[in-house]
Structure 1
């Protein structure tokens, strides 16, 4: 850690760390997306044992690096919950696409939203 003498220096270092965190979180998200593609069952997306394992490993790493568990635990739990939400989105999109539904165009086997409305 750099010893700062002004608030400008502190802010510059925090901004640098935030950029690094964003890069690491984007990398983590990529693996979450791969998991959503790999898992065969929607019920496999949320794994309570894995959640607790990840939290415990994060808390151990936090302690090792001097990060307060009072900061680390809620941050990791929120990160995990948001990651699970994203993984469900990826999994559901994969499932819909394999069933012939394209979530991006909202079309299913030649049956689009306008066709559904007209058929009411």
Structure 2
């Protein structure tokens, strides 16, 4: 988001200055954080639903999630290896969060 009240953030192709680019990146970052909050809310739901702590880590599901992200990156002509690396870290952070939530709820 721009730090100028009432101003719009231009799309990437409409950017004319680095200020425009930075405002766009900052706006995307805030939307990503909001999406991460939604994703982690699903981890809280999983912690609530799963009957046993040992069910939190699911390696086949982890591999599937990372593969899905990599395939979508390839479809969008993005650096798929980088996206898979990011998703690996995201999934590991999600598992750690879910474990903590499981312990908090059922410990």
TM class by smaller structure: 0.7 to 0.9
SS in 1 for 2:26: helix
Which of 13, 22, 27 aligns to 2:38? It is 27
- The answer to whether structure 1 residue 71 and structure 2 residue 71 are counterparts is no
Q: How big is the shift at 1:15?
A: 0.5
Q: How big is the shift at 1:66?
A: 2.4
Work out whether residues 70 and 81 of structure 2, in 8 Å CA contact, stay in contact via their aligned partners in 1: no
> Which runs of at least 4 in structure 1 moved beyond 2 Å after TM superposition?
none
Q: Which runs of 5+ in 2 are unaligned?
A: 1-10
Higher relative contact order (CA 8 A, sep 6+): 2
TM-score by length of 2: 0.85
The superposition leaves residues 64-106 of structure 1 with CA deviations (integer Å, 9 ceiling, x where unpaired) of 222211320111000000000000001111122xxxxxxxxxx
Q: 1 CA distance for matches of 2:76 and 2:28? A: 15
TM-score by length of 1: 0.76
Which of 40, 43, 58 aligns to 1:47? It is 58
